[in-house]
Chain A
């Protein structure tokens, strides 16, 4: 079985586990979630009550198994139910509105941070004990700062003190979202500070792991042999050492995506950025369980998809991944 197919099957298993956990949580938790939702939103229709019961499994219509089957059926058709706090909007329509904001912002910023961090890590690993090594403790401090706190500081400095950037939200208030220049430039301008937050806080992690792998790789015999042959340093660094050191880095990237996304969600709250993190906050503050669960699923699937993309890059970068069929 080719590497990529196996990984695909693994992600399907992971997705299934996430779906099942999502199904079991409301049924296993104590207390009646439907009652608390209904108490909070007295204007809900009786039909919404029924739908909520079915989704949260409180009224126990049918056996657990038949509930599970109908639950999976709903999910497959992207039907996450009706939203209770913004009734009668459907949960999926809310997700469709907010997801692109998060994906574009977090995706771009993460890739930029990964690229810069990796290049800095290569240099730091090669010039072991050099200037870049000495700034490492400073970078560790940056890495230890919670995303949202860093966002608060950047806002305080650049938006409140020196009015360089807007204080939040995704675009200027007067604009109507659409594909025209005013809106796009405004959205870009508003996304700079959030993007900067992600890049600055996550860069140190990429740099540190790349540096450490680089140092180990440089000690390998083939790198020493390449140097002894008299190859130019640039070629030794990038073609011999960095290319091999990149593989563990890529594998780490897949796993770290989840962390970055989680941090970015909380950061969005600080900026009032109209992404999925802000939606999640609204869901939490209004006890909007269907929305919370749908967001969990969507984020999980997005992270799994990102992992799959990383695996495809690994197949391109690592010849071993292509010759696996023969090996197994």
Chain B
């Protein structure tokens, strides 16, 4: 997150204060709200299992404690078998966030590798990888995930992470590829090539650092997607139901008729937690977007940045030099993608 901040505005125009509070103040209000919201849940994930008042799986056999509405001893009530909902929630947030974080990490790494490779190598490599990306974008992921997890005999956390990561890289790869295409012909890359830098060094030290904000946004998006998908998968019952995550709480609530029994305290807190984490991530991402594209800011938040009015400026044209020479096979493959429409007409305009 901190890495994306320098693009917010020209540093010279900003008050030269102590670095950290200045940076914080420069962030759009939406990003701040998102970061705070998310921080609360990350904190809950870290300390949750230690402060949980009960063992989440402990079943209190006393009939009085079955489906008890929230009261002082059980702040969020109890489930049908007398388990404490608050404890389940505190333990579940950790598992869900942990999974989403690792999926975000692995999938973003995959998307950077595929995106940069495609754009930097170009030609047939680009076309094959782009075709693959587009195919996996258009195939709906959730049914495929269900089939894959349905066949898995051991449904541990790491297996779920692996399967989810394998299916959530295409979106990021597409964005990274477009950005790499835009900067691969810039002067500093040519200069690096002229001085005989190795390809991997150019990619690692020249290209990737210039895409940090994009990669951060893609990471946040993937985490958001992973949370939604993992909760939905758990709700259907294809992940490990013996561990507590936000999805499994909802699964048990649904399968034990919480709704019909009127036990709102059983399914509302976990669902609300998912929604709030999601809102935090969306807000954060919109904030990152607005840093990069000042036009998107609404008038109110634009004026609030660093206490001064930032005039909406022209966004940098990112895709202007996207067209490139294509080989015969490459051109043929490329012509099937929807983006070919935009690319080729842009190129035609330029000529």
Chain A residues packing against B (C-beta within 8 Å): 1, 3, 6-7, 9-11, 13-14, 17-18, 21-22, 25-26, 29-31, 33, 128-129, 133-134, 136-137, 140-141, 143-149, 152-153, 155-156, 160, 167, 212, 215-216, 219, 251, 254-255, 258-259, 261-263, 265-266, 269-270, 280-281, 283-285, 287, 289, 292-293, 295-296, 299-300, 303-304, 307, 311, 314, 318, 320-321, 324, 327-328
- With known contacts A14-B138, A266-B235, A296-B146, A289–B341 Cβ distance under 8 A: no
Stretch from B47-55, B150-158, B210-218 forming part of the interface with A = B150-158
A121 CA to B143 CA in the complex, in Å? 30
Which of the residues B151, B254, B267, B299 comes within 8 Å of A129, measured between beta carbons? B299
Q: In the docked arrangement, what's the CA distance between A258 and B153, Å? A: 27
Name the B residues within 8 Å of A259 (CB-CB).
140
Tell me the minimal C-beta distance from A46 to chain B in angstroms.
23
Chain B residues at the A interface, C-beta cutoff of 8 Å: 30, 33, 131, 134-135, 137-144, 146-148, 150-153, 224, 228, 231-232, 235-238, 250, 254, 259-260, 262, 264, 267-268, 271, 274-279, 281-283, 286, 289, 293, 295-296, 298-300, 312, 314-315, 335-338, 340-341, 344-345, 348
Give complex CA distance A283, B282 in Å. Answer: 33
CB atoms of B151 and A289 under 8 A apart:
yes
* B336 in contact with A9 (CB, 8 Å): yes
**Given A3-B341, A149-B250, A152-B267, 18 other A-B residues pairs in contact with their CB atoms under 8 A:** A7-B336, A10-B338, A11-B138, A17-B135, A136-B298, A146-B274, A149-B271, A254-B338, A258-B139, A263-B232, A280-B146, A281-B236, A284-B238, A287-B150, A314-B341, A324-B344, A327-B344, A328-B344
Q: Which 7 pairs, one residue from A and one from B, show the smallest C-beta to C-beta distance?
A: A144-B278, A129-B299, A262-B142, A149-B271, A258-B140, A10-B336, A29-B151
Docked CA distance A156–B258 (Å): 10
Collect the chain B residues with CB atoms within 8 Å of residue A212's CB: 289, 296
Q: Are the CB atoms of B228 and A146 closer together than 8 Å?
A: yes
Nearest-Cβ distance from residue B177 to partner chain A, whole angstroms? 15
8 cross-chain CB contacts under 8 A? A3-B341, A128-B298, A136-B298, A140-B279, A258-B141, A262-B143, A296-B143, A299-B143
Q: Who on chain B is nearest to A215 by CB?
A: B295
Residue of B nearest to A208 (CB): B286
Chain B neighbourhood of A31, CB < 8 A: 151, 153
Enumerate chain A residues within 8 angstroms of B153, measured Cβ to Cβ: 30-31
Q: Which residues of A contact B141 (CB under 8 A)?
A: 258, 262
A141-B275 contact in complex given A146-B232, A149-B250, C-beta closer than 8 Å: yes
Bound form: Cα–Cα A26–B153 in Å: 12
Return A162 CB to nearest CB of chain B, in Å: 13
Residues of B within 8 A of A251 (CB): 338
In the complex, what distance in Å separates the CA atom of A146 from the CA atom of B278? 9
A-chain residues with CB within 8 Å of residue B262 when the two chains form the complex: 160
**Beta-carbon contact of A153 and B140 below 8 Å:** no
Tell me the bound Cα distance from A148 to B144 in angstroms: 19
B residues less than 8 Å from A167 (CB atoms): 260
- Rounded to whole angstroms, the CA-CA distance of A26 and B147 in the bound complex is 9
B143 touches A280 (CB 8 A): yes
Residues A14 and B271 in contact in the complex (CB < 8 Å), given A26-B151, A128-B299, A152-B259: no
Least distance between A90 CB and chain B CB atoms (Å): 19
Chain A residues, Cβ within 8 Å of B278: 143-146
Per the bound structure, the CA–CA distance linking A263 and B141 in Å amounts to: 11
Whether the Cβ atoms of B250 and A258 lie closer than 8 Å is: no
Best-buried of B235, B335, B341 by chain A (most CB within 10 Å): B341
- In Å, the complex CA distance between A129 and B141 comes to 36
Asked if residues A153 and B151 are in contact (CB atoms below 8 Å), the reply is no
List chain A residues, Cβ under 8 A from B293: 216
The distance from the CB of A128 to the nearest CB of chain B, in whole angstroms, is 7
Bound Cα distance A13, B344 (Å) = 22
Evaluate contact between B299 and A293: CB separation under 8 angstroms. Answer: no
Report which of A9, A133, A265 forms a contact with B143, defined as CB distance below 8 A.
A265
